[in-house]
Structure 1
Amino acid sequence: MTVRFGIIGTNWITETFIQAAKQIEDFSLTAVYSRSKEKGDSFAEKHGAAYVFTDLNEMAKSNCLDAVYIASPNALHAEQSIVFLKNKKHVLCEKAIASNVKELQEMISTAKENNVLLMEALKTTLLPNFRVVQKNIHKIGKVRRAFASYCQYSSRYDAYKEGNILNAFKPELSNGSLMDIGVYCVYPMVVLFGKPLSVKASSYLLETGVDGEGSIIMTYKDMDVIIMYSKITNSYIPSEIQGEEGNILFDQMNTPKKVDIYYRNGDKEDITQPQKEEAMYYEAKEFVERIKAGQTESPVNSYEVSLAVMEILEEARKQTGVVFPADHN
């Protein structure tokens, strides 16, 4: 069974997704949506898609696709996903999957009503080098702390400082550091440890009202998770899980490529797994496999996880004063 995909957006992330997904035997790109017909035609020709749409509703009703990958700005995720879900199309939606909890709840209920798959496109949790952490975490004994860092200076910040505010720093698009890259820290930690008992957040707000950088402490019954994220500075610190018998270190939070265990007795174990360079392959594969199996939810990037993550993001925004227009809808 070949799954025929439509793509929303003609940016670098959709290019990256297509390159990865084309390695899956049952993936077929058939349709492209762009507000610009010219841009859509050019993108479709480049990637071998037969259909180009400039009308989202028309695309959603079309019989030329089974599923859609949505990589538009965050503020459009819920509205666009719901259009496709109502037309019984499966939806793989980029992180952060929605602007807030209310939007996500509506997306999930629409997916359930129409018996189709909705999945958040968060690649980290499906990578071999994250799965190996899950399999080996018992080796470090009782976990007492985890530290997740993703700080990446954005080239768009240079433009921002010159007075050119690009999408990454616009609250009307539900963007900012937490929604863009902080989520890469929060999501895997929720998959590993579940929903925290409490959240304490702080951040530095830019003049537009979005966060440039921030940190979160997620408190659990007998441990805590410390998260650090930024789009206005870099960090080269690895992320770490600290247990009573040892530590697991991974080189980068969004796409771990090197994973080591350091035991308290001085031993070290390299548990790094072979992993495709095209990291989005694994999320695309998970999505296609669930569709083929007739399943309407991923057991990894599940509704429960996405909702817990969205609750944390929303609470962190409340504590730090990051408000989106979508919050008032």
Structure 2
Amino acid sequence: MIRMGTVGTNWITQQLVEALALSGQYELAGVYSRHQDTAEAFATKNHAQASYTNYEDMLTQAQLDVVYIASPNSLHFKQAMAAIDHDIDIVVEKPAFSNRQEMVAIQAALAQHPQVKFFEAARHVHTPNFHALEKALLGLPLIQGASLTYMKYSSRYDLVLDGEVPNVFSRQFSGGALQDLGVYPIYLAIALFGQPEHVQYYPTLIATGADGKGVAMLRYPGFDVTVSFGKTSNSTAISEIYGLKETIALDSAGELTHVEEHAASGVVQDLSAPDLANPMLPEVQDFARVLLAPDDPQNQADYQRWLQWSLTVNQVLYSLRVSANLRFPADEND
């Protein structure tokens, strides 16, 4: 069994913990929160072995194999570095780090601790539907572009309208639409098409100074990918990848719960796998596979592939922000 510790007690951590239980490959060894009542309540609800209000105590006392970090974006870096220093593997909620400077420092730390594994929790690129999408792309005679959309109204935006600054809409915490929802379609584009030649971001800023929604352009040799995302409105638009006469349609570039292939003949084929019991189950199973058998050649190849995706996504997110002059306090030394 893999001994997991968690940082953060919000809904995404709850979903992760439920996926761990479904996998049968992990035990919840520790729960960290800044507040004792929150830590204890989360630990009790999920049958964790211990709760902590001091992160260092969890790293030194809980005998962890891996820690899952789902704190506000700006806190990921220091918490990940501390775990690496203790030779503890890390799963960091996307986007893993605020900028390329932090990612470079993480790479250097990993080089000094070569046994430590770093995973970015981009759940959708581990799902059966993503694998079906990859296979369908191989059947296209060429790719002429894509339009990827992921736009969901956030209840936290109500707080912004009331004059507050929630973390997810705060530059101080490396928040905003690009970092929160935009990372999903950006991840999808990178995983499917690789690193773009040029990127440009057109954000719509809100009262907090963060981006509430926006459009990103990714330019590849021979085609462009348009990425639309936001947290201040809802979209019912599907996402599409364009072949010649063929089109692959996705219900959402973030959820990937439905995938269709529209053939040149007009025939529509549903490529979707059955609904998942938990959308995070495939990724925790993938991570467990690597953690339990790190020397397996296929596991090594998959790990390097996921790591390269994370590095490229980090670079692209940073370049998009630079193109829009959208800076975070975390960028001060960059």
Give the alignment's TM-score, normalised by structure 1: 0.96
CA contact (8 A) 1:250 1:260 kept: yes
State the match for 1:125 in structure 2.
Answer: 125
Q: The residue matched to 2:51 in structure 1 has which SS?
A: strand
Aligned twin of 1:75: 74
How far has the Cα of 1:222 moved from its partner?
1.1
CA distance in 2, matches of 1:297, 1:161: 47
- The residue number in structure 2 matching 1:26 is 25
* Matches of 1:210 and 1:301, distance apart in 2: 31
Aligned to 2:93: 94
Give secondary structure in 1 for the equivalent of 2:148: strand
* Inter-partner Cα distance in structure 1 for 2:218 and 2:9: 36
Aligned to 1:17: 16
**Distance between the aligned counterparts of 1:113 and 1:286, measured in 2?**
24
Any unmatched runs of 5+ in structure 2? none
Q: Is the 8 A contact 1:200 1:218 kept in 2?
A: yes
CA distance, structure 2, for counterparts of residue 106 and residue 245 of structure 1: 45
1:297 and 1:79 map into 2 onto residues whose CA distance is 28
Q: Is the 8 A contact 2:65 2:89 kept in 1?
A: yes
Query: Which range moved further: 298-307 or 20-29?
Result: 298-307
Per-residue Cα deviation, 1:163-199 (whole angstroms, up to 9, x for no partner): 1221111111000000000000100110111000001
Q: What number of residue pairs does the alignment pair up?
A: 328
Alignment RMSD: 1.5
Partner of 2:319 in structure 1?
315
Tell me whether 182-191 or 161-170 shows the greater mean CA deviation: 161-170
Q: Which stretch has the larger CA shift, 73-82 or 105-114?
A: 105-114
| Alignment map for 1:289-308 (pairs within 5 Å) | 289-294=289-294, 298-299=302-303, 302-308=306-312
| Residue 325 of structure 1: aligned partner | 329
Q: Which residue of 2 aligns with 1:280?
A: 280
Contact 1:119–1:301 at 8 Å: present in 2 too?
A: no
The question of whether the paired residues in 1 share the 8 Å contact of 2:257 and 2:275 is answered with yes
Q: Distance in 2 between matches of 1:75 and 1:147?
A: 29
Q: Distance between the aligned counterparts of 2:192 and 2:208, measured in 1?
A: 34
Tell me how far 1:208 sits from its aligned partner: 2.1
CA separation in 1, counterparts of 2:261 and 2:91?
A: 33
Which structure 1 segments of 5+ residues have no match? Answer: none
State the shift of 1:74 in Å: 0.3
- SS of 2:165's partner is coil
Write the letter of the residue equivalent to 1:284: V
- Distance (whole Å) between structure 2 residues aligned to residue 138 and residue 43 of structure 1: 44
Q: 1:26 to 1:175 in 2, by over 3 A?
A: same
CA distance in 2, matches of 1:39, 1:200: 41
Whether the aligned pair in 1 keeps the contact of 2:3 and 2:66 (CA below 8 Å) is yes
Deviates more, 1:60-69 or 1:12-21: 60-69
Instruction: Quote the sequence identity (%).
Output: 32
